Structure 1
Amino acid sequence: MALSSLIALVVSLVGAVLSPVVSLVATVLLVALIAWGWPAASGIAELRGIKNVLAHSVIFALCGWAGCALVYLAPTGKLLTLLPAVVAVGVVVVFLAELVRGEGAAARLESTISGAVGVFTAVSASGWVGMALIHHRTETGASVWGAGAILALCIGIVGARMIAAGPEGGLRRGAMTLGVTPVAFLGVLGYAGTLVIDRVIAWLP
């Protein structure tokens, strides 16, 4: 899990520095990994007695990829206003998916909570694309690498807690997803940090 987290952080940072297109591809793959493994990482698949929760995986992937597309195509400053709308739609779809399962379905409450967090995590990953766009526009590496250093510290704290809270003896894909989740989850925080650092640099003589 620690190795997965480290690889995801390095790939996301390098992608953000190289170009927005590379960052977009890296983030799309990151979202795919989250969608693939989140039901196992959260323990929902085990609670429901199945190996995969296909409906949740599809919702996570579509929401995460929609967030990536919006960040890449929309003006950079609109990121923090557009992404909450994607999250809101995703959460509503998760509720509907759980309602369709019918009355008395196993682990419905847990599935709903897990689904909402999964949507938020997948969409938050698109913040890395926002960091890449800022770096490409300003050509100031300090903004991306400075935010990356802040993220590394946050991941060290938050990631350790998330990994410790994971189910024991779960599937390998769940462990991998749990490792990369802190990197994706803090994508928007990285974007916000990049904006702040970029503006401070712009004010310096």
Structure 2
Amino acid sequence: MKFASLLTFVLSATCASITLAQTPAAPKPGSSSAKPAAAAAKPAAKPAPRKAPAKPLPPPPPVLAEADADQLAATEMAFLGTYDCEFKQSISITRNTTPGYLDVAWQRHTFTMKPVLSSTGALRMEDVTGKTLMIQIGNKSMLMDTKIGQRLVDECIHPKQREIIEAARAAKAAAAASGITLDHGGLGIEPRVTAPVTKL
């Protein structure tokens, strides 16, 4: 019986020692280990915000030479206002603040133009920067890219041009009824009348 009691006491003491070894010691007040782990870990510093790159400054407006009498006269021949163009686009022409020049607005672009009257009667509006060219003839206008030699927008018709088209149709119908042929010379400008040939 004494041996059994002794064995029981030894086993109890051993289990108590193992339990105490596995139990973490309570932190002392004021020690650094008493602080929560989350508080010990500092949040990562946020990177400084990057500054957006500065936008390039727009080029200065071109210096416009003083218009001569021919240029001023050509300016008066331009149809001011809005043109209805192909693919539901539009062009607007207004006077520039400098006499003898026009501003042609298309999409988000505005071109300063110098009007020049050609020998055929067509009005050329030449971009002072050399990028574009607008041509106004009797029945339509068009805007061209002179760098690549292509039309930017075509079939632009001003209300006055529409009146010219209707007048030309009426004149053609009246001439056909009288046996007269109208020759428009290919541009719809200043139609010429050709009298019917009388057979002998």
**TM-score, length-normalised on structure 2?**
0.23
* Larger fraction in strand: 2
Structure number with greater Rg is 2
Which one has more relative contact order, counting CA pairs under 8 Å at least 6 apart? 1
